Amino acid sequence: MSDSLLSPAAAFSLAFLGALLLMAALRLWLGVRQIAHIRAHRTEVPIQFADRVSLAAHQRAADYCVARVRFGRLALTVEIAVLLAFTFGGGLQALHGFWSPRLDGLGYGVALIFSVMAIAGAVDLPLSLYTQFVIEQRFGFNRMSLRLFMLDLAKQLLLGLLIGTPALLAVLWLMARMGAAWWLYVWLFWCAFNLLILFVYPTWIAPLFNTFTPLNDAALKTRIEALLARCGFASSGLFVMDGSRRTAHGNAYFTGFGKAKRIVFFDTLLGRLEAQEVEAVLAHELGHFAHRHVLKRIALIFGMTLLLLYLLGQLMNAGWFYAGLGVTDESAHNTAMALILFFQTVPVFAFLATPLASLLSRRHEFEADRYAATHASAADLVKALVKLYEDNAATLTPDPLHSLFYDSHPQAAQRVARLSR
C-alpha cells in the first residue's frame, strides 16, 4: 500500500506545479477579461468624466492599457520558463556543479545567488527594453535615451554589488552559524538593514539617478508650507525631481523618516497641475502619513518576512524540499540553495493572497482621500486626479474583477464619487 503513495518530494513537485498552473491560468484569464472590458468601453467616455476627458484621451488610455496587458502575457511566459529552467530543467543543479568545485563556504553562496540573479536579469533585459522603447515610446511616455537607460542599469548593478554583497554575506553567515534559530537573527538583521536603506535613500541613493532641486515657486511653496503646518508634518525640504528626463508620467511622494523626510514633486506634475491641485495631491500623500500607512505597511512586511524566514528554517534541512524542485544532488542542500528555491517558489504559492494586499492598499487610498478632502479642497483633488489619470493614460474603465484582484488604487469613478459627496 505504501509503495503506491507519492514520496514527499514528488508530492511537493505536484503541489508546486499545480500552484504554478493555477497562477498562470488565473493571470491569463484576468488579462483576457481586462482587454475585453476595456475594448467594450473604448468608444465612449464614462458619463461622469464626459465633460473632463476627451474621447481621444480615453481611447489612448484604453490602447495603452491593452498593450501593457498583452505584453504581460509574454512576460508571464518568460517568467515561468525561467523558473522551470532553474528548477525542473536542472539550471540550479548545473550552477551548483559549476561553482562547488571552485568555491566553498560564503564565496560559493554569493557566487551561486549572484549567478541566478545575473541570468534572470539578462533574460529580463530585452523585456525592459521593449517596455521602455516600444510601448512607452509609442504612447509618448518615454523620455529616456538608450544611453541613459544603460547608465541607470550600470548604476543599479554597481549599487547592488556594493550594498548587496555585504548584506548577502551577513545573511549567509548568520544562517550557517546561528543554529536552529538562525531565522530570527536573519530577520533582525534584515529589518535593521532595510530601515537603514530607508534613511539613507533620499540623500545618498536617489541623487545618483535624479537631480533634486529646492522648490523655487514662492507662491506654491507658501501654500504648501501652510498645508504642512495645518497637518503637523515636519519636513527637511520641498524638492523638485527631474522626472521628465525619463518619463512623461507625473507623481509626488514623500520619502525618509524622522528629520530626513523629504517631499518630492516630479517636474512633470508641477508642469501640469494648478497650485491648488498640487496642494490637494500633497494633502492626499500627507493622509498616508497621518494614518501611519507607511509604518503599517512596513510592520506588515516585517511580520510576513519573519513568518517566511521561520518557514524556511523548517524547510532548509528537508531533502524533499530540494528534490521536489529539481535539486537532487545532496551536496547542493545548503543555505544559498535554500534561499534561492524558497524565494523563487513563495510568489507562486502566495499569488492568491494578491487581492488581500490590493484591498488593504485601496482602503488606505480612500482614507488618504478623505484626509485630503478635510485639509484641502476635494474638488481640486478631483480635478488633479482626472488630469493625472489622463496624463498617465490610466484607463477609466477597468474590468471590475481584474481591478479587484490587482489594483492598489480604487477605480477612478469610485474615487471621484466619494470625493464629490
| pLDDT computed for residue 1 by the predictor | 42
Q: Are 140 and 248 in contact (CB under 8 A)?
A: yes
Report how far residue 418's alpha carbon sits from residue 411's, in angstroms, rounded to the nearest whole number.
11
The structural domains of the chain, with segments of one domain joined by +, span 7-180+321-348, 208-295+357-419
Q: Are the CB atoms for 8 and 324 separated by under 8 Å?
A: yes
The Cα 343–Cα 340 span in angstroms is 6
Is the pTM higher than 0.85? yes
- Output the pLDDT for position 260: 63
Neighbouring residues of 419: CB distance < 8 A, sequence distance ≥ 6: 369, 373, 378, 379, 381, 382, 385
Q: Which residues on adjacent β-strands are paired with residue 240?
A: 213, 265
**Residue 365, φ and ψ in degrees, nearest 5:** -65, -40
| Pairwise CA distance, residues 377 & 419, whole Å | 10
Phi, psi of 61, rounded to the nearest 5 degrees? -60, -40
Please confirm, yes or no, whether 369 is among the known catalytic residues. Answer: yes
Catalytic hit among 79, 136, 277, 369: 369
The single residue listed with the C-alpha cell 489619470 is 389
Whether 399 is catalytic is: no
Fold of 208-295+357-419: Zincin-like (3.30.2010)
What does residue 410 show for φ and ψ, rounded to 5 degrees?
A: -65, 160
Q: Choose among 247, 241, 283: nearest CA to 385.
A: 283
Given 279, 285, 380, 390, the catalytic residue: 285
Q: Quick one: residue 241, left, alpha or beta (phi over 0 = left, psi -120 to 50 = alpha)?
A: beta
Q: How many CB atoms lie within 10 A of CB 89?
A: 14
pLDDT reported for residue 150: 97
Amino acid, single-letter form, for residue 402: H
Other C-beta atoms within 10 Å of 53: how many?
19
Per residue of the chain (421 residues), give pLDDT as tens: 445 578 999 999 999 999 999 999 999 999 999 999 999 999 999 998 999 999 999 999 999 999 999 999 999 999 999 999 999 999 999 999 999 999 999 999 999 999 999 999 999 999 999 999 999 999 999 999 999 999 999 999 999 999 999 999 999 999 999 999 999 999 999 999 999 998 888 888 989 999 999 999 999 999 999 999 998 887 778 899 998 888 888 788 877 666 667 889 999 889 889 999 999 999 999 999 899 998 999 999 999 999 999 999 999 999 999 999 999 999 999 999 999 999 999 999 999 999 999 999 999 999 999 999 999 999 999 999 999 998 888 999 999 999 999 999 999 999 999 998 7
